C-alpha cells in the first residue's frame, strides 16, 4: 500500500489528536486540532486511508509544512 504524509498548513501547537493509530479516516475527516493565534484549527485528512503513525504529540509546537501523520492509502 502507498503511504501519504499529512503536513501542517499553519504553525502552532498540537492541542488534540482527534483520531488514533490504526483508525480508518475518510476524506476531510478530522484527525487533529492545532492552536494558532488563540484559534483552534482542525486538521482534516486530505485522503481516505488508515493512520499508520502520528509524527507529533499533544502539546508539541509544529511549523508550517511539518509532517503531522502518515496515512496508508487504500
What is the predicted pLDDT for the residue at 1?
75
Q: Show the domains of the chain with their CATH numbers.
A: 3-57 (2.40.50.100)
Enter the DSSP assignment of 55: S
Block residue for cell numbers 502552532: 12
- Residues 27-56: tens digit of each pLDDT: 999 999 999 999 999 999 999 999 999 999
Tens of pLDDT along 4-17?
Answer: 999 999 999 999 99
Nearest to 26 by CA among 51, 56, 53, 54: 51
Per DSSP, what are the bridge partners of residue 6? 69
pLDDT at 38: 93
Amino acid at each position: 500500500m502507498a503511504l501519504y504524509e499529512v503536513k501542517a498548513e499553519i504553525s502552532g501547537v498540537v492541542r488534540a489528536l482527534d483520531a488514533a493509530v490504526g483508525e480508518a479516516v475518510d476524506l476531510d475527516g478530522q484527525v487533529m486540532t492545532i492552536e494558532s493565534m488563540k484559534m483552534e484549527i482542525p486538521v482534516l485528512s486530505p485522503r481516505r486511508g488508515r493512520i499508520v503513525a502520528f509524527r507529533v504529540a499533544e502539546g508539541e509546537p509544529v511549523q508550517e509544512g511539518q509532517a503531522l501523520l502518515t496515512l496508508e492509502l487504500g
